[in-house]
Amino acid sequence: MRHARFWGTLAFRLTAGYVLAGLSLVFLATAGLYFVLVTELERNTDLFLADKLHVLRTMLRERPNDWDALREEIELESAARRYEHFYIRLLDERNAPLLTTPGLAEELDLREFSRQVQDAPEHAVAMKGRHWQSFRVTSATAPVGFPPTHTDTIQIAIDVSQEEELLARYRSWFWAILLGTFAIFPWIGYRIARHGIRPVEEMATTARHISSTNLHERILPEGYPSELASLADTFNKMLDRLEESFERISRFSADIAHDLRTPVNNIRGEAEVALARARTVEEYRDVLGSCLEETVRLSGLIGDLLFLARAESPLAHLHRERVDISELLSGVREYYEATAADSGVSLITAAPPGQVIAEVDRMLVQRAVGNLVSNALAHTPAGGSVVLGANSEVAKIRIEVADTGVGIPPEALPRVFDRFFRVDSSRSQTSGGTGLGLAIVQSIMLLHGGNVEIASQLGQGTRVTLRMPTSAPR
Ligand SMILES: Nc1ncnc2c1ncn2[C@@H]1O[C@H](COP(=O)(O)OP(=O)(O)OP(=O)(O)O)[C@@H](O)[C@H]1O
Ligand SMILES: [Mg+2]
């Protein structure tokens, strides 16, 4: 994270977004205000011009011979004003000047003035004065007398340099504000972005610290905004799962070590005792026999472990074939019949022949059912029964092994599929199994895309249900 390029960071992106948004907003607001100001000033000037024209035209129409009043209006009124300079020229029909505000010729090029106002009669247009002042100029015809005897022309120019200056000052401010925004916004944006990202970084720091030795550590979601709290929660849940599987794996390795060590120690002990002095052939035979028993157990255990490891590999594949499940169950029953008879338990199959058909790996399903039957027989006292059943469901088959045995305590039920888990783990190694049987059943079901469920009542019996799709999923 620290080494990531600044351009690629979230903080940079957020900052860039803020700056862009801020700049556009400030730009739009100031530019809008500027536009309003320009149009308002222009409108004011034009109203003033229109007003003046109106007054003069009224005077010419109604009092055409009142030269004193006209002179007052054209020559004196403008001169009396201090800040607002405007100039008026009254021309007769032949365009000879009758009255002119003093100073007009110094301010404006008269020929240019006439040309400009002629081009746009009754409209105010902008024009530059002799000293580069800004003017707005307009003209209008004025009928003289009522009814009119002839028509004069009024030309009028107003100096708008002050307004122009105001606008120029406004423009400087505009650029200054824009520059200021550009200077300050990245900083503000960066602060906001950092502030928003800090919890994520804290999380990352916590996550970095977590290793196999402190898997119990969690991110405290207090004080985080809700989106991040839910991220923290998700992360914590992931840690829960990791911790659980990590524990399971460590337990598993400890169990493997333990289960391998016991038979090896037994073999070693017997061999050492046997070699301590000379033995009879009978005694050697006994020792060899029990060593053989232990090695059979050992290789069974190793075979189971190998099977589980292979079944977990993504390369594991099945040899699917059409299997009549009731036939398969009968096969399993025949295999266990002797054992069941020995322990006085009746072993029954209750599946209609030829009706439950599925494409499965015969050997594996046999093994799964065999594991279940061996469990059932091991936990059912004499006089009890073990029933193997099967039926078809929609696109699925169901196999059931139910016994009337001792049952499993509810608190142990969720763990029976764990490797090496045995309800009564204190039971002697030779009589009890290794605790891999149900784990193998489960992985066989997973390989087939199916599942396994177990239900049990203490003292009443246990029922294990296998469900598999009738054919390989496409
Ligand atoms: N039908 C059952 N009735 C009562 N308890 C059962 C039954 N099936 C399984 N269990 C309990 O679940 C535990 C796990 O069974 P699992 O088949 O995985 O191992 P195992 O039988 O002990 O050893 P393995 O099958 O590897 O020889 C058993 O030890 C037993 O305590
Ligand atoms: Mg078993």
Q: Domain limits of the chain?
A: 7-168, 226-310, 317-469
- Amino acid identity of residue 315, one-letter, is L
For the record, the structure tokens of 472 come out as 């390989």
pTM of the model: 0.57
The Cα 407–Cα 325 span in angstroms is 26
Residue 332's pLDDT is 97
Q: Would you say the C-alpha torsion 36, 37, 42, 48 has a positive or negative sign?
A: positive
Residue 206's pLDDT is 81
Residue 429's pLDDT is 47
412: left (phi over 0), alpha (psi -120 to 50) or beta: alpha
Residue 286 neighbours by CB distance under 10 Å: 14
Q: Which of the listed residues 419, 438, 442 should we mutate to test ligand 1's pocket, taking the one with most ligand atoms within 8 A of CB? A: 438
Burial zone of 61 (CB within 10 Å; 0-12 exposed, 13-18 middle, 19+ buried) = middle
Pocket of ligand 1 (CB under 6 A): 371, 375-376, 379, 403, 405-408, 416, 421-424, 432-439, 462
**Any idea of the CA torsion for 142, 148, 149, 151, to the nearest 10 degrees?**
20
The Cα 101–Cα 119 span in angstroms is 22
Residues of the chain falling short of pLDDT 70: 1-4, 425-432
Q: Which of the listed residues 416, 431, 465 should we mutate to test ligand 1's pocket, taking the one with most ligand atoms within 8 A of CB? A: 416
Identical fold between 226-310 and 317-469: no
Angle at 444 between CA 440 and CA 450, to 5 degrees: 130
For 395, list phi and psi in degrees, rounded to 5: 60, 15
- Which atom in ligand 1 lies closest to the alpha carbon of residue 438? 18
Q: Which of the listed residues 343, 377, 422, 452 should we mutate to test ligand 1's pocket, taking the one with most ligand atoms within 8 A of CB? A: 422
Ligand 2 center to 314 CA (angstroms) = 25
CB proximity list for 84: less than 8 A, separation 6 or greater = 158, 159
For the record, the structure tokens of 44 come out as 């004011």
The Cα 468–Cα 399 span in angstroms is 9
Burial zone of 324 (CB within 10 Å; 0-12 exposed, 13-18 middle, 19+ buried) = middle
The Cα 281–Cα 157 span in angstroms is 141
Write the CATH number of the domain with boundaries 226-310: 1.10.287.130
Give the length of the chain: 474
Write the CATH number of the domain with boundaries 317-469: 3.30.565.10
CB proximity list for 423: less than 8 A, separation 6 or greater = 408, 409, 412, 416
For the domain with range 7-168, which CATH number is right: 3.30.450.20, 3.10.129.10, 3.40.50.620, 3.30.70.260?
A: 3.30.450.20
Ligand 1 center to 375 CA (angstroms) = 5
